Chain A
Amino acid sequence: MSETVHRWMEQYPELGSGPISTEPYISPEWYEREKEKIFHKVWLCVGRENELPKVGDYKVKRLAAADTSVIIVRAKDGKIRAFHNACAHRGNTVITETGEETYGGSKAAIMTCRFHGWVYDAEGQLKQVPSEQRFYDCFSKEKNGLTPVHLDTWQGFLFVNVAEQPETTLAEFLGEYANHFNGFPFDELDFGFTYYTYVDCNWKVAHDAFAEAYHVDTIHAGSFPNVFSTGLQNVKLMGPHRTCAVCLTLGAKPTPVSGIANGLAGASLVSQRGESMLPPAINPDKRDDFAFELSVLFPNTLLHISEGIWFTHQFWPIAHNKTLWEGRYYVKAPTTHSQRWAIEHAMTLQRNAWLEDTATMEDTQRAMQSRAKVEQHLQDDEILIRHGAVVVDQFVNA
């Protein structure tokens, strides 16, 4: 295996090697164009099918960058559909939102607008209008259902596309990315923890901070001190998406509590494991130092998979310098109290590592906004960031 110091540039020369402008991270006008050309146009990952197990279960997800909120609901026919959360009467939200994500359910699979009580079913039909006779002849219930949003699924993930007519199907959009991850047991590893926060930074600052392993030895010197980055392997760019293997060498011996926890559940990124549940395209050379696959599902979802664990980061733009970050961590459901304890320990360590990751973001944004530096320099192992910048540029200038 040849490993030159510039091997990713040699593999993907079309990305170039020059500095990258910081303007897209700090410009409100650029952000407006990203909203229009990206978030209003492409497929966005908004959850998992198993979050809505029963007929009538719904989730409302705010999509500030697409200027809407979507209701994702399981109807009586078992199908999940998506609609804008907007009432046909006078435009109120049909489901009252309590935050970025609002979960609920209705056994009858109906949704009632709080304002004047219009009732919709989970297929989006308007079923009931109080005092309907007082509306005029030109009004018809048939024409005033909820406005649908395109929804499709892949490997149990729910995607929406708010474009009236998406330019691609979800399968076309995912392309080779889907093949790369097909077969990983996402559904079996469904014991999921969610953390979120608002960070005063551009969504790409947040993306970039997580899309490299160059920072492991510095930023994670606290939480993962015995872990040293051995760099990226198997970088693969697939249309707007990208993936790589993050390889880490582990220190010889775990700390006392980690030692106990690792013996109980392979729930931590820094515990050792045997058999493989990874799809064939992941860690194809079966490297011992493989830690996890780090991928970016364009535009705003980072998906990581490893043995017995998978986790995501999502960066939801709120403004050009404000981002909702969501981190989700999934393992196999524990069967004993001691496994549950070991998972708590793994999650705590991961949360602390995420606290380390997010620590730089607001500082980066502030410094970029000073315009003291108007470009940034990327080394070869920061290729996912370079690819991200190139792809965003292509979309915005399309």
Chain B
Amino acid sequence: MTNKSLPPEFADLAPFLDWALATADERYAYRRNASRAELKAFYDAILPRTEAILALVDQYPLGALPEELHPLYHLVLSLAEVAPHIELYGGAPGVPYAFDETRFVATHGAQDTALGLSPTAA
């Protein structure tokens, strides 16, 4: 395991570092297996910081994010995965009335989103 860390101004988000996951596959699996309480706590912690996080990562060209900011960016990417569950699905960890999520394959699913690559890049 690499040591994930956050810039000092976001140090208070450290309890949520387990959500700092590089790939869409990891983020979706973590969300599915999280409890309702975990989803809600994560959402409530990240939402008010979202614009500040995005402003910080936008100081670097896409694809050139310094290594030490990857965990922070991965956190906000997890918010993209989690948000519909809090905002639309009443806090449920799974997509309600849906096809079996584990049978859906995302061809970009194993790619590190922080690299800014095309989803079709190998």
Do A and B actually bind? Answer: yes
A interface residue numbers (CB < 8 A to B): 51, 103, 190-199, 219, 222-223, 225, 255-258, 260-261, 264, 333-341, 344-345, 348-349, 351-352, 354-359, 361
Instruction: Please give me the residue from chain A that is nearest to B77 by CB atom.
Output: A344
> For residue A225, which residues in chain B have a CB less than 8 angstroms away from its CB?
88
Judge whether A194 and B119 touch: CB under 8 Å.
yes
Contact assessment for A337 and B80 in the assembled complex, using a CB-CB cutoff below 8 Å: no
Q: Which residues of A contact B73 (CB under 8 A)?
A: 337, 341
- Indicate with 1 or 0, residue by residue over B2-32, a CB within 8 angstroms of chain A CB atoms: 0000000000000000000000100000000
B58 touches A338 (CB 8 A): yes
Query: Do residues B107 and A195 form an inter-chain contact, with CB atoms below 8 A?
Result: yes
A258-B87, A338-B58 known; A345-B80 Cβ under 8 A: yes
Q: Could you tell me the distance between the alpha carbons of A197 and B96 in the complex, rounded to whole angstroms? A: 18
Interface residues of B in 63-90 (CB under 8 A from A): 65, 73, 76-77, 79-81, 83-84, 87-89
Q: List 21 A-B contacts (CB under 8 A).
A: A190-B118, A194-B120, A195-B107, A197-B99, A197-B104, A198-B103, A222-B89, A222-B95, A256-B87, A334-B116, A335-B62, A336-B62, A337-B65, A338-B55, A338-B58, A339-B62, A345-B80, A352-B95, A354-B99, A358-B104, A361-B99
Contact B105 A195, beta carbon cutoff 8 Å? yes
Q: A260 CA to B48 CA in the complex, in Å?
A: 11
In Å, the complex CA distance between A225 and B101 comes to: 20
Contacts of A195 in B (CB 8 A): 104-107
B residues adjacent to A (C-beta < 8 A): 24, 47, 50-51, 54-55, 57-58, 60, 62, 65, 73, 76-77, 79-81, 83-84, 87-89, 95-99, 101, 103-108, 113-114, 116, 118-120, 122
Q: What residues of chain A lie closer than 8 Å to B106, measured between beta carbons?
A: 193-195, 351
- Cβ contact within 8 Å between A193 and B119: yes
Return A128 CB to nearest CB of chain B, in Å. Answer: 28
Contacts of B65 in A (CB 8 A): 337
User: Known contacts being A337-B54, A345-B83, is A352 close to B62, with CB within 8 Å?
Assistant: no
Q: Provided the pairs A222-B95, A337-B57 are in contact, do residues A355 and B87 lie with their beta carbons within 8 angstroms?
A: no
A-B contact count (CB 8 A): 124
Apart from A335-B62, A340-B116, A355-B101, 16 more pairs, CB < 8 Å? A103-B122, A193-B107, A193-B108, A194-B106, A194-B120, A195-B106, A196-B105, A336-B58, A338-B54, A338-B58, A339-B62, A341-B80, A352-B84, A352-B95, A356-B99, A358-B99
Instruction: Determine whether the beta carbon of B87 is less than 8 Å from that of A334.
Output: no
Task: Please give, as numbers and ranges, the residues of chain A lying within 8 Å of B103 by CB-CB distance.
Answer: 197-198
Quick check: B113 and A340 within 8 Å, CB to CB? yes
Closest 5 CB pairs of A and B: A257-B83, A355-B98, A255-B87, A345-B80, A358-B99
Residue pair B95, A356 in contact (C-beta under 8 Å): yes
Q: Are A349 and B84 in contact (CB under 8 A)?
A: yes
Check B84–A359 contact: CB distance below 8 A: no
A355 to B95, CA, bound (A): 8
Residues of B within 8 A of A341 (CB): 54, 73, 76-77, 80
A257-B47, A260-B50, A261-B80 are known contacts. Are A337 and B99 too (CB-CB below 8 A)? no
Closest to B43 in A: A257
Name the residue of chain B whose CB is nearest to the CB of A334. Answer: B62
Cα–Cα, bound, A351→B101 (Å): 10
Q: Would you call A192 and B47 a contact (CB within 8 A)?
A: no
Residue contact A337 to B60, C-beta cutoff 8 Å: yes
Nearest to B64 among chain A residues (CB) is: A337
Q: Which residues of chain A come closer than 8 Å to B108, judged between CB atoms?
A: 193-194
- What's the nearest-Cβ distance from chain A to residue B40, in Å? 13
Given A222-B88, A222-B97, A355-B95, A255 contacting B105 (CB threshold 8 A): no
Q: Chain B nearest CB: distance from A170 CB in Å?
A: 24
**In the complex, what residues of A have CB within 8 A of residue B84's CB?**
223, 348-349, 352
Shortest CB distance B36–A (Å) = 16
Do B104 and A337 touch (CB < 8 A)?
A: no
A102 CB → nearest B CB, Å: 12
Q: What chain B residues lie within 8 Å of A198 (beta carbons)? A: 103
A192 touches B99 (CB 8 A): no
Once A192-B120, A335-B62 are accepted as A-B contacts, the answer to whether A344 and B54 lie under 8 Å apart by CB is no
Q: Are B88 and A223 in contact (CB under 8 A)?
A: yes
